[in-house]
Amino acid sequence: MSKRDRETEERVFGILQRTYGLMGNFVHNRGTEPGEGNGEPDFTVDHDGGRLGVEITCIHIPGKVGGMPLQQHEAEKDEIVERAREKAVQFGLPPLKVDVIFTGNPPKKKNRKTNWADTLFEIVRSNCPEPGHITYLGGMDSDLPEGFHWIGINRSLKWRKNSWSCEDEAGDVETDFSAQLQERIDAKASKLPQYRKCCDKCWLVIAALGRRPSSFFEYTDEMTTRRYRSPFEGVLFVDVASGTVNELSIIEAA
């Protein structure tokens, strides 16, 4: 599991801690990626006189952009930005907050993605602002190289590390995703007997990160009327961006 994946799980679990007072001794079990552990739920914690397991999985809108799944489209752009950030660290650039907006689809070929990452690094290096200042490049009349729409470079005195991220254009918000929630429940149900070997009860948490178009979900009033088949003792939908938790109404799976 990557550092970013574990940080995502920790952020989701932190929302549950605040919402349900899960302040007992807890363990963040080691998995391979968000929601895909090694026979253990992502977290186990002392709660309500027993040991509670918390399994976290993320939900994404299944649309496509340029023939590529939306989530993959975003991941490809994230990879380009991360490569540029790593090069900046190796080069010794000062701590910066860099935000990037691309245009069109990211290149599919590895060498072209490397070229985009190198180009992004050179743009930032050449336009690195003075301490305490911000530089904005591009926009409607952008003279940036092909593929780049806008870049913000913030050299705030409070930054202690390089934080680079890809920003996206606005996306549609999904408001009817009951079928997708049931799919995530069904996908995890077969793993519950293994999870219960290390906990008395287990919750399934389905999280929408809400930072990118592939994870723009809104839990509407109509969604509250839906019921789901589940063997888990609790199923929760977490909107990470707003920090809100909605408990799904469940019936015991057949």
Write the pLDDT tens digit of every residue in 186-235.
999 999 999 999 999 999 999 998 877 788 899 999 999 999 999 999 99
> How many domains is the chain built from?
2
244 CB neighbour count, 10 Å cutoff = 12
Looking at the fold, whether 47 and 130 belong to one and the same domain comes out as no
Looking at the fold, whether 182 and 216 belong to one and the same domain comes out as yes
Residue 32 has pLDDT above 50, yes or no: no
CB 72 within 8 A of CB 59: no
User: What type of residue is 148?
Assistant: F
Average of pLDDT values for 234-244? 95
CA 20 to CA 15: how far, in whole Å? 9
Tokens of 5: 């994946």
CA 44 to CA 185: how far, in whole Å? 19
End residue of a domain, out of 167, 182, 215: 167
Looking at the fold, whether 132 and 211 belong to one and the same domain comes out as no
CA 219 to CA 181: how far, in whole Å? 11
Helix (H, G, I), strand (E, B) or coil at 35: coil
Looking at the fold, whether 136 and 91 belong to one and the same domain comes out as yes
CA 33 to CA 3: how far, in whole Å? 10
Looking at the fold, whether 76 and 149 belong to one and the same domain comes out as yes
Amino acid 100: pLDDT: 93
Which residue range forms the structural domain that includes residue 11? 3-61+173-252
Write the pLDDT tens digit of every residue in 139-181.
766 689 988 989 999 999 888 888 998 876 666 788 999 999 9
Write the pLDDT tens digit of every residue in 39-76.
899 999 999 889 999 999 999 887 766 666 777 778 88
End-to-end C-alpha distance for the chain, whole angstroms: 33
Amino acid 162: pLDDT: 87
Looking at the fold, whether 51 and 115 belong to one and the same domain comes out as no
CB 54 within 8 A of CB 203: yes
Amino acid 253: pLDDT: 62
Residue 254 has pLDDT above 60, yes or no: no
More reliable by pLDDT, 213 or 34: 213
Burial 48-87 (b: 16+ CB within 10 A, else e): eeebbbbbbbbbbbeeebeeeebbebbebbbbbbebbbeb
Tokens of 138: 């591009």
End residue of a domain, out of 105, 136, 167: 167
Looking at the fold, whether 206 and 181 belong to one and the same domain comes out as yes
CA 76 to CA 72: how far, in whole Å? 6
Looking at the fold, whether 77 and 200 belong to one and the same domain comes out as no
Residue 1 has pLDDT above 60, yes or no: no
Looking at the fold, whether 57 and 71 belong to one and the same domain comes out as no
pTM value is: 0.72
Looking at the fold, whether 75 and 163 belong to one and the same domain comes out as yes
End residue of a domain, out of 124, 146, 167: 167
Which one-letter DSSP state was computed for residue 128? P
Looking at the fold, whether 184 and 238 belong to one and the same domain comes out as yes
Looking at the fold, whether 247 and 226 belong to one and the same domain comes out as yes
